[in-house]
Each structure stands twice: as C-alpha cells, then as structure tokens.
Amino acid sequence: MFAKLYQHLKVNPRQVFLIDSLGALLSAFLLGVVLVQLESYIGMPRKVLYFLALIPCLFFCYSLYCYFRFPKKWRPFLKGIAGANLMYCLISLGFVFFYFGQLTYLGLFYFLNEIIIVMCIGITEFKIAK
C-alpha cells in the first residue's frame, strides 16, 4: 500500500504539498487546541505546546502556498519543507528530553509517535524531491 502511494506521489508531487499542509494543520490543532486542554494528562507545559503549535502553522501556510502556486522548479521547495519537518522533529525531541520528568506516558506516546510520523514524511519528501 505504501509503495503504491509513494509511486503515486512521485508522479504527482504537487499532492505532497497538500498532504503536508493538511498534516501540519492537524498537528497545529492537536498541539494548540487539544493537548492544551489535556495539559495535566500530557505533562508538557502549555507555553511549549503553543510554541510547538506555531511551527506547523507556518508549515501549513508554506505547503499550501506551494500547492496552489506549484512552481516549475518544485524540488527545492519540497526539500525545504522536508528539512523543516526534520528540524521540527529535533526541536520536539529536545523538548521531550528537557521535560522528560514531567511527561506522562500519554504525553510520551503522543510526542514520540508524532516525531516518528513527521520524520517518515520528511524522509519521503526528500526521496520524492530527488
């Protein structure tokens, strides 16, 4: 299934920007709205959740812009969001380490899964941009 999706996206790279923008919107909503309400169950401070939510908001705007504009030389733009996604993973991982003692199992579960998913997306975007 993933191989078929990868081949489809490789042929239709414009759709990668749409998928990335929707994923960023979901992350921003989960971090900035849902997890803020569940702060005591997650363990990550509210200010960190808002900061982390701001980053995918920027990614959402960038990817949506690229989707609608879809430049002829799209590869550098896809590499840009791929690198940004991987950088976001490092930032999130840094906060996980810094607040490790405060995080609950639910918080650890959320952040580690988000990091894995975003990392896979970033790596896939780099592969498609080759």
pLDDT tens-digit profile of 98-121? 999 999 999 999 999 999 999 999
Sign of the torsion angle spanned by Cα atoms 26, 30, 32, 34: positive
Q: Name the pTM for this structure.
A: 0.91
**pLDDT tens by residue, 63-75:** 999 999 988 899 9
Are the C-beta atoms of 60 and 24 separated by less than 8 Å?
Answer: yes
For residue 10, the model assigns a pLDDT of 80
Locate 114 and state its tokens.
Answer: 């988000």
Structural contact between residues 119 and 83, judged by C-beta atoms closer than 8 angstroms:
no
Q: Which two tokens stand for residue 89?
A: 């993973």
Of 88, 106, 77, 84, nearest to 51 (Cα)?
88
